[in-house]
Structure 1
Amino acid sequence: MNISENNEPGSTIPATTVAGVSEVATEREGFLITDSALANHANLVHVDFPPVENGVDYLCSVVDHLTDADPPTPRALKYAVLHLQAAAEVLLKARLLRENWSLVFKDPSAASRKSFEAGDFISCTLRRPSTGCATLLASELTTRAQEL
């Protein structure tokens, strides 16, 4: 039932009664919103996954998908591959950020701190790493090879 037929939008009406407790609802933009829904929305947990934690979480998901069933289902394999790719990309970008924030840009020469902080840029990917990424990786490989 569209409550606008009987009430003005934004009007408050009794929505439900559960165990003798009445709940009030408000129509907003054609949706019936209850007080408890608003309270739940206000109490949402803040979710924050820093890049390394996010990458490791993806890797844990890969292991879970590959070990939940023997053999893994096609769906589990699909998500294992997707999450492995996401983990590699997130961890690569985390490493680039440690070196210099501009290296996560697809084109580091066009990097600006303002666009970085706003998240308004195209980032490098595993398929299209930035030139700075290639230089950094080559430098690290050379250093490690010399240590051996």
Structure 2
Amino acid sequence: KGLPLAFRRVHERAITAIRFIPEIHRVAVLSYDNTLTIFNSYTGILERTVKNANGCHFTGLSYEDTYNQVILVDANGFLSIYAFDRADIICTKRLGQEPILGITRREGTSQYAILFTDRVEYWNIDHDIDYAVVPGGHEG
């Protein structure tokens, strides 16, 4: 059964994705209430809830272990990067006008497959760039 939770309900609407991240003992949860919620997998404690600034629900996530980041995609066509060391979203970039349905990372690389309704795009994310000054539409 596990530990009793210190809260009754975390999300106002249904959960869309859950990702266990054993490397850092965390669980990342996406919900239709437009949030990313991070739990400690040892204690069950809710550590952080981040609202999607794009006004829609996140549709997928992938964990980047080298930089300890969660790469998120959403229903408005944005990709966002959540950094555990800053406990916040550090970068957002619009990849398309239509919803992004999912994301997956090629293991051991910074290459990602981004799933749209009519295509798959491959992106390479350079994590060593200061996201505040990245050209081409990055915000951070």
TM-score (norm 2): 0.23
| Structure that is richer in helix per residue | 1
Larger Rg: 1
| Structure that is richer in strand per residue | 2
TM-score (norm 1): 0.22
